[in-house]
Structure 1
Amino acid sequence: MAGEPAETLGYIGLGLMGLPMAKRLLAAGHCVTVWNRSPQKLAEAVAAGARAAPGPSGVAAASEIIFMCLTDAAAVEQVAFDSGGLAEAAGTGRIVVDFSSIHPEATQDIAARLHAANGMAWIDAPVSGGTKGAAEGTLAVMAGGVAEDIARVAPYVGVMARNFTHMGPLGAGQTTKLCNQIIAGCTMAVLAEAARLAVNAGIDAERLPVALKGGFADSIPLQLFVPRMVKAIHDPPLGHGVTMLKDLDTVLDVARKSKTPVPMTGLAAQLFRMLQASRGDDAEALEIYKLGGPISA
Protein backbone atom coordinates (compact mmCIF):
# COMPACT_ATOMS: atom_id res chain seq x y z
CA MET A 1 0.00 0.00 0.00
CA ALA A 2 2.96 2.32 0.46
CA GLY A 3 2.81 5.08 -2.14
CA GLU A 4 -0.60 3.95 -3.40
CA PRO A 5 -3.73 6.07 -2.87
CA ALA A 6 -6.14 4.71 -0.28
CA GLU A 7 -9.27 3.11 -1.64
CA THR A 8 -12.72 4.46 -0.83
CA LEU A 9 -14.51 2.39 1.77
CA GLY A 10 -18.11 1.64 2.66
CA TYR A 11 -19.67 0.15 5.78
CA ILE A 12 -23.15 -1.36 5.97
CA GLY A 13 -24.58 -2.37 9.36
CA LEU A 14 -23.81 -0.08 12.30
CA GLY A 15 -24.77 -2.28 15.20
CA LEU A 16 -22.84 -3.33 18.31
CA MET A 17 -19.88 -4.45 16.20
CA GLY A 18 -20.25 -2.42 13.01
CA LEU A 19 -20.30 1.06 14.50
CA PRO A 20 -17.02 0.80 16.45
CA MET A 21 -15.37 -0.90 13.48
CA ALA A 22 -16.47 1.86 11.11
CA LYS A 23 -15.31 4.49 13.59
CA ARG A 24 -11.84 2.93 13.62
CA LEU A 25 -11.64 3.31 9.84
CA LEU A 26 -12.71 6.93 10.16
CA ALA A 27 -10.20 7.59 12.95
CA ALA A 28 -7.47 6.22 10.66
CA GLY A 29 -8.34 8.89 8.12
CA HIS A 30 -10.23 6.79 5.58
CA CYS A 31 -13.16 8.04 3.54
CA VAL A 32 -16.11 5.89 4.62
CA THR A 33 -19.67 5.91 3.26
CA VAL A 34 -22.22 4.23 5.52
CA TRP A 35 -25.76 2.90 5.59
CA ASN A 36 -27.82 1.16 8.23
CA ARG A 37 -31.28 -0.39 8.14
CA SER A 38 -32.17 1.70 11.23
CA PRO A 39 -31.53 5.30 10.12
CA GLN A 40 -31.13 6.64 13.67
CA LYS A 41 -27.92 4.65 14.05
CA LEU A 42 -26.28 6.61 11.26
CA ALA A 43 -25.98 9.77 13.38
CA GLU A 44 -22.96 8.70 15.43
CA ALA A 45 -21.04 7.51 12.38
CA VAL A 46 -21.81 10.72 10.49
CA ALA A 47 -20.74 12.75 13.54
CA ALA A 48 -17.41 10.88 13.39
CA GLY A 49 -16.92 11.91 9.77
CA ALA A 50 -18.75 9.28 7.71
CA ARG A 51 -20.89 10.08 4.70
CA ALA A 52 -24.41 8.66 4.73
CA ALA A 53 -25.81 6.92 1.65
CA PRO A 54 -29.52 6.36 0.95
CA GLY A 55 -29.08 2.61 0.61
CA PRO A 56 -26.65 -0.26 -0.04
CA SER A 57 -26.36 0.52 -3.75
CA GLY A 58 -25.38 4.08 -2.80
CA VAL A 59 -22.65 2.76 -0.52
CA ALA A 60 -21.35 0.53 -3.32
CA ALA A 61 -21.42 3.37 -5.85
CA ALA A 62 -19.20 5.47 -3.57
CA SER A 63 -16.89 2.67 -2.39
CA GLU A 64 -14.31 0.33 -3.86
CA ILE A 65 -14.36 -1.94 -0.79
CA ILE A 66 -17.67 -2.46 1.02
CA PHE A 67 -17.56 -3.84 4.56
CA MET A 68 -20.70 -5.05 6.25
CA CYS A 69 -21.72 -6.63 9.52
CA LEU A 70 -25.33 -7.81 9.68
CA THR A 71 -27.49 -9.92 11.94
CA ASP A 72 -28.12 -13.01 9.83
CA ALA A 73 -28.31 -14.44 6.32
CA ALA A 74 -31.75 -12.91 5.72
CA ALA A 75 -30.32 -9.44 6.35
CA VAL A 76 -27.35 -10.12 4.07
CA GLU A 77 -29.73 -11.33 1.37
CA GLN A 78 -31.82 -8.16 1.66
CA VAL A 79 -28.81 -5.86 1.49
CA ALA A 80 -27.53 -7.67 -1.58
CA PHE A 81 -30.72 -8.14 -3.59
CA ASP A 82 -33.63 -6.03 -2.34
CA SER A 83 -34.57 -2.83 -4.15
CA GLY A 84 -31.65 -0.44 -3.77
CA GLY A 85 -29.34 -3.34 -2.92
CA LEU A 86 -25.75 -4.05 -3.85
CA ALA A 87 -26.79 -5.91 -7.00
CA GLU A 88 -28.08 -2.65 -8.49
CA ALA A 89 -24.66 -0.96 -8.37
CA ALA A 90 -21.81 -1.38 -10.83
CA GLY A 91 -19.76 -4.21 -9.36
CA THR A 92 -16.65 -4.77 -11.44
CA GLY A 93 -13.55 -4.02 -9.38
CA ARG A 94 -15.50 -3.80 -6.13
CA ILE A 95 -15.21 -6.21 -3.20
CA VAL A 96 -17.69 -6.98 -0.43
CA VAL A 97 -16.09 -8.01 2.87
CA ASP A 98 -18.85 -9.58 4.94
CA PHE A 99 -18.12 -9.67 8.67
CA SER A 100 -21.52 -11.27 9.37
CA SER A 101 -21.68 -14.78 10.81
CA ILE A 102 -23.94 -16.87 8.55
CA HIS A 103 -24.15 -20.40 7.15
CA PRO A 104 -21.25 -21.26 4.82
CA GLU A 105 -23.71 -22.40 2.16
CA ALA A 106 -25.59 -19.09 2.38
CA THR A 107 -22.31 -17.21 1.91
CA GLN A 108 -21.44 -19.22 -1.19
CA ASP A 109 -24.93 -18.82 -2.67
CA ILE A 110 -25.20 -15.06 -2.09
CA ALA A 111 -21.66 -14.42 -3.34
CA ALA A 112 -22.23 -16.41 -6.53
CA ARG A 113 -25.53 -14.68 -7.29
CA LEU A 114 -24.09 -11.21 -6.69
CA HIS A 115 -21.09 -11.91 -8.90
CA ALA A 116 -23.42 -13.15 -11.64
CA ALA A 117 -25.54 -10.01 -11.29
CA ASN A 118 -22.82 -7.37 -11.50
CA GLY A 119 -19.34 -8.89 -11.15
CA MET A 120 -18.84 -7.83 -7.52
CA ALA A 121 -16.34 -9.98 -5.59
CA TRP A 122 -16.98 -11.37 -2.10
CA ILE A 123 -14.94 -12.27 0.96
CA ASP A 124 -16.59 -13.97 3.93
CA ALA A 125 -14.78 -12.64 6.98
CA PRO A 126 -16.62 -13.32 10.25
CA VAL A 127 -15.03 -11.89 13.38
CA SER A 128 -14.36 -12.89 16.98
CA GLY A 129 -13.52 -10.66 19.91
CA GLY A 130 -16.82 -9.02 20.84
CA THR A 131 -17.61 -5.36 21.23
CA LYS A 132 -14.44 -4.77 23.23
CA GLY A 133 -12.32 -6.11 20.38
CA ALA A 134 -14.29 -4.05 17.86
CA ALA A 135 -13.65 -0.85 19.81
CA GLU A 136 -9.97 -1.60 20.43
CA GLY A 137 -9.14 -3.02 17.00
CA THR A 138 -8.08 -6.38 18.41
CA LEU A 139 -10.54 -8.63 16.59
CA ALA A 140 -9.66 -11.97 15.03
CA VAL A 141 -10.94 -12.18 11.46
CA MET A 142 -11.10 -15.50 9.60
CA ALA A 143 -11.59 -15.16 5.86
CA GLY A 144 -12.65 -17.14 2.82
CA GLY A 145 -12.10 -15.93 -0.73
CA VAL A 146 -9.55 -15.32 -3.48
CA ALA A 147 -6.01 -14.68 -2.26
CA GLU A 148 -5.57 -11.52 -4.35
CA ASP A 149 -8.77 -10.05 -2.90
CA ILE A 150 -7.64 -10.91 0.63
CA ALA A 151 -4.33 -9.11 0.05
CA ARG A 152 -6.12 -6.06 -1.33
CA VAL A 153 -8.38 -5.57 1.69
CA ALA A 154 -5.83 -6.62 4.34
CA PRO A 155 -4.47 -3.11 5.10
CA TYR A 156 -7.98 -1.86 5.87
CA VAL A 157 -9.03 -4.90 7.87
CA GLY A 158 -5.81 -4.41 9.84
CA VAL A 159 -7.19 -1.14 11.18
CA MET A 160 -10.03 -3.11 12.79
CA ALA A 161 -8.38 -6.41 13.69
CA ARG A 162 -5.25 -7.87 15.22
CA ASN A 163 -5.41 -11.12 13.23
CA PHE A 164 -6.63 -11.57 9.65
CA THR A 165 -6.22 -15.13 8.44
CA HIS A 166 -7.04 -16.48 4.98
CA MET A 167 -8.56 -19.92 5.64
CA GLY A 168 -9.41 -20.98 2.09
CA PRO A 169 -12.07 -20.46 -0.60
CA LEU A 170 -15.47 -18.81 -0.10
CA GLY A 171 -17.21 -20.24 2.94
CA ALA A 172 -14.00 -21.21 4.73
CA GLY A 173 -14.18 -18.12 6.93
CA GLN A 174 -17.70 -19.00 8.03
CA THR A 175 -16.74 -22.59 8.79
CA THR A 176 -13.79 -21.36 10.86
CA LYS A 177 -16.13 -19.04 12.76
CA LEU A 178 -18.35 -22.02 13.57
CA CYS A 179 -15.32 -23.74 15.12
CA ASN A 180 -14.75 -20.55 17.12
CA GLN A 181 -18.37 -20.55 18.28
CA ILE A 182 -18.18 -24.15 19.44
CA ILE A 183 -15.31 -23.13 21.70
CA ALA A 184 -16.83 -19.80 22.78
CA GLY A 185 -20.37 -21.07 23.37
CA CYS A 186 -19.31 -24.18 25.27
CA THR A 187 -16.81 -22.11 27.28
CA MET A 188 -19.53 -19.67 28.34
CA ALA A 189 -21.69 -22.58 29.50
CA VAL A 190 -18.83 -24.21 31.43
CA LEU A 191 -17.75 -20.93 33.08
CA ALA A 192 -21.36 -20.23 34.09
CA GLU A 193 -21.54 -23.70 35.64
CA ALA A 194 -18.29 -23.24 37.57
CA ALA A 195 -19.22 -19.76 38.78
CA ARG A 196 -22.67 -20.93 39.89
CA LEU A 197 -21.17 -23.87 41.80
CA ALA A 198 -18.82 -21.48 43.59
CA VAL A 199 -21.67 -19.16 44.59
CA ASN A 200 -24.01 -21.95 45.67
CA ALA A 201 -21.23 -23.60 47.70
CA GLY A 202 -20.39 -20.36 49.51
CA ILE A 203 -17.15 -19.44 47.67
CA ASP A 204 -16.48 -15.91 46.43
CA ALA A 205 -16.83 -16.52 42.69
CA GLU A 206 -15.35 -13.12 41.89
CA ARG A 207 -12.00 -14.50 43.06
CA LEU A 208 -12.01 -17.44 40.65
CA PRO A 209 -10.11 -15.54 37.93
CA VAL A 210 -7.45 -14.55 40.48
CA ALA A 211 -7.18 -18.02 42.00
CA LEU A 212 -6.95 -19.81 38.64
CA LYS A 213 -4.72 -17.32 36.84
CA GLY A 214 -1.71 -19.05 35.29
CA GLY A 215 -3.16 -22.54 35.72
CA PHE A 216 -4.57 -24.86 33.10
CA ALA A 217 -8.07 -23.42 33.60
CA ASP A 218 -6.94 -19.84 32.93
CA SER A 219 -8.12 -18.11 29.77
CA ILE A 220 -9.22 -14.74 28.44
CA PRO A 221 -12.90 -15.80 28.80
CA LEU A 222 -12.33 -16.79 32.43
CA GLN A 223 -10.81 -13.41 33.24
CA LEU A 224 -13.39 -11.41 31.28
CA PHE A 225 -16.64 -13.36 31.59
CA VAL A 226 -16.81 -14.61 35.19
CA PRO A 227 -16.68 -11.15 36.85
CA ARG A 228 -19.39 -9.94 34.46
CA MET A 229 -21.51 -13.00 35.20
CA VAL A 230 -21.26 -12.74 38.98
CA LYS A 231 -21.72 -8.95 39.10
CA ALA A 232 -24.54 -9.05 36.51
CA ILE A 233 -22.72 -6.60 34.24
CA HIS A 234 -24.57 -6.83 30.94
CA ASP A 235 -24.43 -3.26 29.66
CA PRO A 236 -22.87 -2.74 27.22
CA PRO A 237 -23.51 -6.32 26.12
CA LEU A 238 -20.64 -8.42 24.83
CA GLY A 239 -23.14 -10.20 22.59
CA HIS A 240 -26.67 -11.54 22.71
CA GLY A 241 -27.66 -15.08 23.57
CA VAL A 242 -29.84 -15.37 20.46
CA THR A 243 -26.82 -14.58 18.29
CA MET A 244 -24.81 -17.37 19.91
CA LEU A 245 -27.79 -19.70 19.55
CA LYS A 246 -28.03 -18.88 15.83
CA ASP A 247 -24.38 -19.78 15.36
CA LEU A 248 -24.59 -22.98 17.40
CA ASP A 249 -27.65 -24.08 15.45
CA THR A 250 -25.63 -23.52 12.27
CA VAL A 251 -22.87 -25.70 13.74
CA LEU A 252 -25.43 -28.45 14.32
CA ASP A 253 -26.63 -28.23 10.72
CA VAL A 254 -23.11 -28.34 9.25
CA ALA A 255 -22.20 -31.16 11.65
CA ARG A 256 -25.25 -33.17 10.55
CA LYS A 257 -24.38 -32.77 6.87
CA SER A 258 -20.71 -33.63 7.47
CA LYS A 259 -21.53 -36.53 9.82
CA THR A 260 -19.59 -34.89 12.67
CA PRO A 261 -20.61 -35.68 16.28
CA VAL A 262 -20.90 -32.48 18.33
CA PRO A 263 -22.49 -33.48 21.66
CA MET A 264 -21.03 -30.55 23.64
CA THR A 265 -22.33 -28.06 21.09
CA GLY A 266 -25.77 -29.64 21.21
CA LEU A 267 -25.94 -29.18 24.98
CA ALA A 268 -24.67 -25.61 24.82
CA ALA A 269 -27.28 -24.81 22.16
CA GLN A 270 -30.06 -26.10 24.40
CA LEU A 271 -28.81 -23.97 27.29
CA PHE A 272 -28.85 -20.86 25.10
CA ARG A 273 -32.33 -21.87 23.90
CA MET A 274 -33.39 -22.00 27.55
CA LEU A 275 -31.88 -18.55 28.03
CA GLN A 276 -33.89 -17.20 25.11
CA ALA A 277 -37.09 -18.83 26.39
CA SER A 278 -36.67 -17.57 29.95
CA ARG A 279 -35.16 -14.11 29.41
CA GLY A 280 -36.02 -13.12 25.87
CA ASP A 281 -34.18 -12.16 22.72
CA ASP A 282 -32.40 -9.20 24.34
CA ALA A 283 -30.63 -11.29 27.00
CA GLU A 284 -26.86 -11.01 26.89
CA ALA A 285 -25.10 -14.31 26.24
CA LEU A 286 -23.41 -14.23 29.67
CA GLU A 287 -26.81 -14.29 31.34
CA ILE A 288 -26.58 -18.04 30.79
CA TYR A 289 -25.09 -17.91 34.31
CA LYS A 290 -28.54 -17.00 35.63
CA LEU A 291 -30.02 -20.31 34.54
CA GLY A 292 -28.47 -21.98 37.58
CA GLY A 293 -29.85 -19.58 40.19
CA PRO A 294 -33.05 -17.85 41.30
CA ILE A 295 -34.89 -15.92 38.59
CA SER A 296 -33.81 -12.62 40.19
CA ALA A 297 -30.11 -13.57 40.18
Structure 2
Amino acid sequence: MNIGFIGLGIMGSPMAANLVRAGHTVVGYDTSAERTDALAVAGGKSAGSVAEAVAQAEVVITMLPDSPQVEEVAFGDDGLLQQGRQGLIHIDMSTVRPETSRRVAQAAAVKGIRALDAPVSGGERGAVDGTLSIMVGGAAADFAAVRPVLAVVGTTIVHVGPAGAGQTVKAANQLVVGGIYGLVAEAIVLLEASGVDPGGGLDVLAGGLAGSRILDLKRHSMVRREFAPGFRIDLHHKDMGIAIAAAREAGVSLPLTGLVAQLVAAARAQGHGSLDHSALLKVIERINQ
Protein backbone atom coordinates (compact mmCIF):
# COMPACT_ATOMS: atom_id res chain seq x y z
CA MET A 1 0.00 0.00 0.00
CA ASN A 2 0.97 3.64 -0.33
CA ILE A 3 1.32 4.87 3.25
CA GLY A 4 1.96 8.39 4.47
CA PHE A 5 3.61 8.43 7.89
CA ILE A 6 3.63 11.67 9.87
CA GLY A 7 5.71 11.81 13.05
CA LEU A 8 9.03 9.96 13.03
CA GLY A 9 10.10 10.13 16.66
CA ILE A 10 11.18 7.38 19.07
CA MET A 11 8.11 5.32 18.19
CA GLY A 12 7.29 6.47 14.67
CA SER A 13 10.71 5.92 13.10
CA PRO A 14 10.96 2.16 13.80
CA MET A 15 7.29 1.66 12.97
CA ALA A 16 7.74 3.33 9.57
CA ALA A 17 10.90 1.31 8.94
CA ASN A 18 9.02 -1.93 9.68
CA LEU A 19 6.35 -0.97 7.16
CA VAL A 20 9.05 -0.37 4.54
CA ARG A 21 10.58 -3.78 5.24
CA ALA A 22 7.13 -5.34 4.83
CA GLY A 23 7.01 -4.04 1.26
CA HIS A 24 4.84 -0.94 1.64
CA THR A 25 5.69 2.36 -0.01
CA VAL A 26 6.12 4.74 2.93
CA VAL A 27 6.37 8.50 2.50
CA GLY A 28 7.38 10.05 5.81
CA TYR A 29 7.21 13.57 7.17
CA ASP A 30 8.59 15.00 10.40
CA THR A 31 9.54 18.48 11.53
CA SER A 32 13.09 17.09 11.82
CA ALA A 33 14.72 16.70 8.42
CA GLU A 34 17.22 14.34 10.03
CA ARG A 35 14.42 11.90 10.84
CA THR A 36 12.91 11.99 7.37
CA ASP A 37 16.37 11.48 5.88
CA ALA A 38 16.82 8.42 8.12
CA LEU A 39 13.60 6.94 6.74
CA ALA A 40 14.87 7.48 3.20
CA VAL A 41 18.08 5.63 4.10
CA ALA A 42 15.92 2.77 5.40
CA GLY A 43 14.19 2.53 2.01
CA GLY A 44 11.27 4.90 2.49
CA LYS A 45 10.67 8.27 0.91
CA SER A 46 10.95 11.67 2.57
CA ALA A 47 8.32 14.39 2.25
CA GLY A 48 8.82 18.09 2.83
CA SER A 49 5.30 18.70 4.14
CA VAL A 50 2.16 17.02 5.43
CA ALA A 51 0.51 17.66 2.05
CA GLU A 52 3.33 15.86 0.22
CA ALA A 53 3.15 12.87 2.58
CA VAL A 54 -0.62 12.62 2.10
CA ALA A 55 -0.84 13.30 -1.64
CA GLN A 56 -0.73 9.71 -3.00
CA ALA A 57 -1.52 7.84 0.20
CA GLU A 58 -4.17 5.17 0.62
CA VAL A 59 -3.46 5.13 4.36
CA VAL A 60 -2.00 7.89 6.51
CA ILE A 61 -0.58 7.08 9.93
CA THR A 62 0.08 9.82 12.46
CA MET A 63 2.28 9.28 15.52
CA LEU A 64 2.45 12.65 17.25
CA PRO A 65 3.07 13.93 20.80
CA ASP A 66 -0.36 15.30 21.77
CA SER A 67 -3.78 16.55 20.71
CA PRO A 68 -2.62 19.98 19.41
CA GLN A 69 -0.21 18.37 16.94
CA VAL A 70 -2.85 15.89 15.75
CA GLU A 71 -5.36 18.71 15.29
CA GLU A 72 -2.81 20.79 13.37
CA VAL A 73 -2.05 17.92 11.00
CA ALA A 74 -5.73 17.09 10.57
CA PHE A 75 -7.28 20.55 10.30
CA GLY A 76 -4.44 22.71 8.93
CA ASP A 77 -4.78 24.42 5.53
CA ASP A 78 -2.27 21.95 4.07
CA GLY A 79 -3.37 19.19 6.39
CA LEU A 80 -4.77 15.74 6.10
CA LEU A 81 -8.44 16.63 5.72
CA GLN A 82 -7.74 19.23 3.04
CA GLN A 83 -5.19 17.22 1.07
CA GLY A 84 -6.35 13.63 1.54
CA ARG A 85 -8.41 12.04 -1.19
CA GLN A 86 -11.80 10.41 -0.64
CA GLY A 87 -11.54 6.87 0.67
CA LEU A 88 -8.28 7.54 2.49
CA ILE A 89 -8.00 5.85 5.88
CA HIS A 90 -6.37 7.90 8.62
CA ILE A 91 -4.92 5.85 11.49
CA ASP A 92 -3.96 8.09 14.40
CA MET A 93 -1.60 6.06 16.57
CA SER A 94 -0.81 8.98 18.86
CA THR A 95 -2.08 9.08 22.42
CA VAL A 96 -4.54 11.98 22.65
CA ARG A 97 -7.81 12.91 24.33
CA PRO A 98 -10.76 10.73 23.28
CA GLU A 99 -12.71 13.85 22.32
CA THR A 100 -9.90 14.80 19.89
CA SER A 101 -10.28 11.45 18.13
CA ARG A 102 -14.05 11.85 17.95
CA ARG A 103 -13.73 15.37 16.54
CA VAL A 104 -11.25 14.28 13.87
CA ALA A 105 -13.43 11.30 12.92
CA GLN A 106 -16.54 13.47 12.55
CA ALA A 107 -14.74 16.02 10.38
CA ALA A 108 -13.08 13.28 8.32
CA ALA A 109 -16.42 11.64 7.55
CA VAL A 110 -17.63 14.90 5.99
CA LYS A 111 -14.62 14.78 3.63
CA GLY A 112 -15.10 11.13 2.73
CA ILE A 113 -12.07 10.13 4.78
CA ARG A 114 -12.26 7.22 7.23
CA ALA A 115 -10.61 7.76 10.61
CA LEU A 116 -9.43 5.33 13.26
CA ASP A 117 -7.83 6.06 16.61
CA ALA A 118 -5.25 3.34 17.27
CA PRO A 119 -2.93 4.22 20.15
CA VAL A 120 -0.26 1.70 21.08
CA SER A 121 1.44 0.20 24.08
CA GLY A 122 4.82 -1.51 24.21
CA GLY A 123 7.30 1.35 24.17
CA GLU A 124 10.31 1.77 21.93
CA ARG A 125 11.23 -1.92 22.19
CA GLY A 126 7.79 -2.93 20.96
CA ALA A 127 8.01 -0.42 18.10
CA VAL A 128 11.40 -1.77 17.02
CA ASP A 129 10.35 -5.42 17.28
CA GLY A 130 6.90 -4.89 15.73
CA THR A 131 5.20 -6.32 18.81
CA LEU A 132 3.06 -3.40 19.93
CA SER A 133 -0.38 -3.77 21.46
CA ILE A 134 -2.85 -1.71 19.43
CA MET A 135 -6.29 -0.65 20.66
CA VAL A 136 -8.48 0.61 17.83
CA GLY A 137 -11.56 2.81 17.84
CA GLY A 138 -13.68 3.48 14.77
CA ALA A 139 -15.80 1.59 12.25
CA ALA A 140 -15.32 -2.19 12.21
CA ALA A 141 -15.11 -2.26 8.41
CA ASP A 142 -12.33 0.33 8.38
CA PHE A 143 -10.47 -1.63 11.04
CA ALA A 144 -10.72 -4.78 8.93
CA ALA A 145 -9.38 -2.93 5.88
CA VAL A 146 -6.17 -1.86 7.60
CA ARG A 147 -5.61 -4.80 9.91
CA PRO A 148 -2.83 -6.18 7.65
CA VAL A 149 -1.00 -2.85 7.98
CA LEU A 150 -1.40 -2.85 11.76
CA ALA A 151 -0.16 -6.45 11.88
CA VAL A 152 3.23 -5.24 10.64
CA VAL A 153 3.77 -3.07 13.72
CA GLY A 154 1.82 -4.97 16.38
CA THR A 155 0.90 -8.44 17.59
CA THR A 156 -2.07 -7.73 19.89
CA ILE A 157 -4.55 -5.80 17.76
CA VAL A 158 -8.08 -5.33 19.05
CA HIS A 159 -11.04 -3.31 17.81
CA VAL A 160 -12.45 -1.90 21.05
CA GLY A 161 -15.38 0.23 19.90
CA PRO A 162 -16.38 3.44 18.08
CA ALA A 163 -14.29 6.55 17.55
CA GLY A 164 -12.48 7.55 20.73
CA ALA A 165 -12.70 4.09 22.31
CA GLY A 166 -9.08 3.31 21.47
CA GLN A 167 -7.96 6.41 23.36
CA THR A 168 -10.08 5.48 26.38
CA VAL A 169 -8.46 2.03 26.51
CA LYS A 170 -5.04 3.67 26.17
CA ALA A 171 -5.83 5.93 29.14
CA ALA A 172 -6.62 2.79 31.15
CA ASN A 173 -3.35 1.27 29.96
CA GLN A 174 -1.33 4.27 31.06
CA LEU A 175 -2.83 4.44 34.52
CA VAL A 176 -1.99 0.75 35.04
CA VAL A 177 1.55 1.17 33.68
CA GLY A 178 2.18 4.20 35.88
CA GLY A 179 0.85 2.39 38.93
CA ILE A 180 3.08 -0.64 38.34
CA TYR A 181 6.16 1.54 37.88
CA GLY A 182 5.37 3.27 41.18
CA LEU A 183 4.97 -0.03 43.02
CA VAL A 184 8.13 -1.55 41.52
CA ALA A 185 9.97 1.60 42.63
CA GLU A 186 8.62 1.18 46.15
CA ALA A 187 9.62 -2.49 46.14
CA ILE A 188 13.21 -1.57 45.21
CA VAL A 189 13.38 1.06 47.96
CA LEU A 190 12.00 -1.41 50.52
CA LEU A 191 14.37 -4.20 49.53
CA GLU A 192 17.45 -1.97 49.59
CA ALA A 193 16.52 -0.34 52.89
CA SER A 194 16.08 -3.81 54.39
CA GLY A 195 19.48 -4.99 53.21
CA VAL A 196 18.06 -7.37 50.60
CA ASP A 197 19.53 -7.61 47.11
CA PRO A 198 16.88 -5.96 44.90
CA GLY A 199 18.03 -7.87 41.83
CA GLY A 200 17.34 -11.26 43.33
CA GLY A 201 14.19 -10.02 45.03
CA LEU A 202 12.70 -8.70 41.81
CA ASP A 203 13.68 -11.89 39.99
CA VAL A 204 11.44 -13.78 42.40
CA LEU A 205 8.60 -11.27 41.99
CA ALA A 206 8.85 -11.49 38.21
CA GLY A 207 8.29 -15.25 38.35
CA GLY A 208 5.23 -15.13 40.59
CA LEU A 209 1.80 -13.54 40.69
CA ALA A 210 3.40 -10.08 40.86
CA GLY A 211 5.06 -10.69 37.50
CA SER A 212 4.46 -8.17 34.73
CA ARG A 213 5.84 -7.01 31.41
CA ILE A 214 7.38 -4.06 33.25
CA LEU A 215 9.28 -6.35 35.63
CA ASP A 216 10.40 -8.44 32.66
CA LEU A 217 11.77 -5.49 30.72
CA LYS A 218 12.77 -2.89 33.28
CA ARG A 219 13.69 -4.43 36.63
CA HIS A 220 17.40 -4.69 35.87
CA SER A 221 17.73 -1.17 34.45
CA MET A 222 15.76 0.27 37.37
CA VAL A 223 18.05 -1.40 39.92
CA ARG A 224 21.04 0.00 37.99
CA ARG A 225 19.37 3.45 37.87
CA GLU A 226 19.51 3.52 34.09
CA PHE A 227 16.69 5.68 32.78
CA ALA A 228 17.41 6.14 29.06
CA PRO A 229 14.03 7.06 27.59
CA GLY A 230 11.94 4.43 25.91
CA PHE A 231 8.90 6.50 26.93
CA ARG A 232 9.53 9.84 28.59
CA ILE A 233 8.10 11.09 31.88
CA ASP A 234 6.89 14.19 29.99
CA LEU A 235 4.66 12.05 27.78
CA HIS A 236 3.39 9.92 30.66
CA HIS A 237 2.50 13.14 32.51
CA LYS A 238 0.40 14.13 29.51
CA ASP A 239 -1.22 10.69 29.43
CA MET A 240 -2.12 10.76 33.12
CA GLY A 241 -3.90 14.05 32.46
CA ILE A 242 -5.90 12.28 29.75
CA ALA A 243 -6.79 9.49 32.20
CA ILE A 244 -7.92 11.96 34.88
CA ALA A 245 -10.03 13.86 32.32
CA ALA A 246 -11.57 10.61 31.04
CA ALA A 247 -12.52 9.64 34.59
CA ARG A 248 -14.15 13.02 35.12
CA GLU A 249 -16.11 12.69 31.85
CA ALA A 250 -17.25 9.19 32.81
CA GLY A 251 -18.24 10.36 36.29
CA VAL A 252 -16.04 7.88 38.17
CA SER A 253 -13.51 8.23 40.99
CA LEU A 254 -10.05 6.72 40.42
CA PRO A 255 -8.13 7.53 43.62
CA LEU A 256 -5.03 5.45 42.86
CA THR A 257 -4.83 7.01 39.41
CA GLY A 258 -4.85 10.44 41.03
CA LEU A 259 -1.94 9.49 43.28
CA VAL A 260 0.07 8.05 40.41
CA ALA A 261 -0.60 11.20 38.38
CA GLN A 262 0.85 13.28 41.22
CA LEU A 263 3.97 11.09 41.40
CA VAL A 264 4.48 11.47 37.66
CA ALA A 265 3.96 15.23 37.99
CA ALA A 266 6.53 15.28 40.80
CA ALA A 267 9.06 13.50 38.59
CA ARG A 268 8.55 16.16 35.94
CA ALA A 269 8.76 19.00 38.48
CA GLN A 270 12.03 17.56 39.78
CA GLY A 271 13.55 17.83 36.31
CA HIS A 272 13.20 14.21 35.18
CA GLY A 273 10.80 14.86 32.30
CA SER A 274 13.23 13.68 29.63
CA LEU A 275 13.96 10.40 31.43
CA ASP A 276 12.16 7.08 31.02
CA HIS A 277 8.97 6.70 33.06
CA SER A 278 10.74 4.10 35.19
CA ALA A 279 12.44 7.15 36.72
CA LEU A 280 9.49 7.26 39.12
CA LEU A 281 12.04 5.44 41.28
CA LYS A 282 13.86 8.76 41.71
CA VAL A 283 10.71 10.31 43.21
CA ILE A 284 10.20 7.46 45.68
CA GLU A 285 13.86 7.64 46.67
CA ARG A 286 13.61 11.38 47.26
CA ILE A 287 10.56 10.93 49.49
CA ASN A 288 12.63 8.60 51.66
CA GLN A 289 15.76 10.73 51.97
TM-score surpassing 0.5? yes
Secondary structure at 1:76's aligned position in 2? Answer: helix
Q: Aligned partner of 2:152: which letter? A: V
Closer, same or farther: CA 19–293 of 1 in aligned 2, 3 Å? same
**Of 228, 232, 244, the match for 2:221:** 228
CA positional deviation for 1:227: 1.4
Report the CA distance between 1:294 and its aligned residue: 5.5
Matched residue SS, 2:190: helix
**Given residue 22 of structure 1, which amino acid in structure 2 is its aligned partner?**
A
Q: How many residues align?
A: 288
Q: State the shift of 1:218 in Å.
A: 1.4
Match of 1:286 in 2: 278
What is the identity, as a one-letter code, of the residue corresponding to 2:187? A
Of 95, 107, 120, 2:89 maps to 95
Q: Of residues 104, 120, 137 in structure 2, which corresponds to 1:110?
A: 104
Q: Which residue of 1 aligns with 2:251?
A: 259
**What is the alpha-carbon root mean square deviation over aligned residues?**
1.6
Confirm or deny: 8 A CA contact 2:104 2:115 kept in the other structure.
no
1:167 aligns with 2:160: yes
Cα–Cα, structure 1 residues 260 and 99, in superposed 2: closer, same or farther, change >3 Å? same
Contact (CA 8 Å) 1:195, 1:226: kept in 2 or not? no
Match of 1:30 among 21, 24, 40: 24
Out of 99, 122, 125, the residue aligned to residue 118 of structure 2 is: 125
SS in 2 for 1:183: helix
CA contact (8 A) 1:126 1:177 kept: yes
Residues 103-131 of structure 1 show CA distances to partners (whole Å, capped at 9, x for unaligned) of 10111112222333x32110000000000
Structure 1 regions of 5+ residues with no counterpart?
A: 1-6
The one-letter amino acid of 2:40's match is V
1:63 and 1:215 map into 2 onto residues whose CA distance is: 47
Q: How far apart are residue 234 of structure 1 and its match?
A: 2.2
- Once residues 221 and 207 of structure 2 are traced to their aligned partners in structure 1, the CA distance between those partners, rounded to angstroms, is 20
**Superposition deviation, residue 212 in structure 1:** 2.2
User: What is the deviation of 1:148?
Assistant: 1.1
Residue deviations 1:3-55, cap 9 Å, x none?
Answer: xxxx2111110001000000101111211111012222112111001111121
Q: TM-score, normalised by structure 2?
A: 0.95
The whole-number CA distance in structure 1 between the counterparts of 2:259 and 2:204 is 28
Q: 2:186 aligns with which of 181, 193, 213?
A: 193
Moved more, 201-210 or 166-175: 201-210
Q: CA deviation at 1:272?
A: 0.5
Instruction: Provide the C-alpha distance between the structure 1 equivalents of 2:141 and 2:51, rounded to a whole number of angstroms.
Output: 24
Identity across the alignment (%): 35
Q: Distance in 1 between matches of 2:193 and 2:76?
A: 51
Q: Counterpart of 2:10?
A: 16
Distance 1:82 1:232 in 2: 42
Counterpart selection for 2:56 from 58, 62, 66: 62
- The AA in structure 2 aligned to 1:27 is R
Classify the secondary structure of the residue corresponding to 2:158: strand
The 4+ residue runs of structure 1 with deviation greater than 3 A are none
Aligned pair partner of 1:43 in 37, 44, 58: 37
TM-score by length of 1: 0.93
Offset, 1:142: 0.3
